[in-house]
Amino acid sequence: MSILSGKNILLGISGGIAAYKTASLVRLFIKSGANVKVVMTPASKDFITPLTLSTLSKHPVHSSFVNEEDDNSVWNNHVDLGLWADLFVIAPATANTMSKMSNGVCDNLLLATYLSAKCPVYFAPAMDLDMYKHQTTLESFKKLKSFGNIMIPATSGELASGLVGEGRMAEPEDIVAFIEKDILDKLPLKGKKVLVTAGPTYEAIDPVRFIGNHSSGKMGFEIAKAAANLGAEVVLITGPTHQKVSHSFIEVIPVTSAQNMYDATHKYYNNVDVAILSAAVADFKPKEMATQKIKKKTDTLTLELEKTKDILASLGDIKKQQYLVGFALETNNELENAKEKLKRKNLNLIVLNSLNDKGAGFKTDTNKVTFIDDKENITEFQLKSKVEVASDLLNKITKEINA
């Protein structure tokens, strides 16, 4: 999955011959999983039609402040467009448009939207060789980059004039690759490896039955996605669950029992920077597993149970450079029990939640947690979605390991 997946990308098109390439650019953004809207200068419509771009983006294309063909004269709000965007990509960026951008000229919808945008702005210059080398254009490049805009350099090749040289807009595939790399290079967990455990474990009684719990795996899967979205390479070790994830940075390792999860975590643990153990691992398992289905011959059944290996404690014992995070689901004396678990298992951070809190616990889309770290800092949060909890947790970890 591309890092652009789920992003809102606003594509600004100015009036140059390279505008014909934007149909392919829109398709590539859509293919990457992004949502795309298009804003055009009036001159750009001479090179590619709004209908083409609207069809590809599945959104209306805007090129003026009002839709003049509409009897109601609907206002196209440049502020809303600018705030909607996670990324603003101006391609092609002509000499004329860049000069206006660098000097605050605001005489069309694209420029008004640019001045309203709060997101990163990428611009891909496109013009003839002499225009590209002109001092005023070079000044535009310098000023736009000084404002924090990101330039996607033009390439050399045959130009519309017939000349061969610099000024050709980067190809759509290269524009997408440039933006993806730029985003990834700036992510705070780029180059880090994160191990996450999720879901329940099933401890077999016989070939048919097992001892398990109500964990859905939602929290662990959201943590894995949050870590991957920050650039980390993630190993997600999960017990049986209906949760799904598709992300190029996440490797999913399915397991069943506590022993399976123990073996998998120890296999990967030495090579990770962060380990977040959110799985609900069984504390006990049947001492003996029946080789055949147990028949219902009596009114009662006695099972002898034995402890499973404590995965979290075993990782704390061998911890070196890893930042180790555990979870504590408590029903009484929550804070005291969590603090004791933090120290006993040699953790850097423990995430406490309680079954006494409405909306927290298993099989919900929300959670109410408290962070307790090894410096005795305690941070309580209100009830939030598990997506938000995962974000809070990864923000905390990122600050700690990058401090």
Q: Which of 67, 213, 337, 346 is catalytic?
A: 213
- Does the annotation mark 213 as catalytic? yes
Place of tokens 């967990």: 189
CA atoms of 103 and 122, how far apart (whole Å): 17
Taking a C-beta distance cutoff of 8 angstroms, is the pair 25, 91 a contact? yes
Is the Cα dihedral 61, 64, 68, 70 positive or negative? positive
Q: How many CB atoms lie within 10 A of CB 354?
A: 18
Q: Using an 8 Å Cβ cutoff, are 325 and 351 in contact? A: yes
Which of 243-269 are b and which e, b meaning 16 or more Cβ less than 10 Å from the residue's Cβ?
Answer: bebebebbebbebbbbbbbbebbeeeb
Q: Which residue has the tokens 């049986």?
A: 240
Backbone φ and ψ for 8, nearest 5 degrees, come out as: -95, 110
182 closest CA partner among 170, 193, 190:
190
Helix (H, G, I), strand (E, B) or coil at 218: helix
Q: Where are the alpha helices (DSSP H) in 147-276?
A: 172-186, 218-229, 258-269
The dihedral formed by the CA atoms of 328, 329, 334 and 340, expressed in degrees to the nearest 10: -30
> In sequence order, which residues have a C-beta less than 8 Å from that of residue 366 and are 6 or more positions away?
359, 360, 383, 384, 385, 386
The H or E element that residue 50 is part of is helix 50-57
Q: Report strand pairing: 8-13 vs 35-40.
A: parallel
Cβ neighbours of residue 55 closer than 8 Å, sequence gap 6 or more: none
Question: Which positions are annotated as active-site residues?
Answer: 213
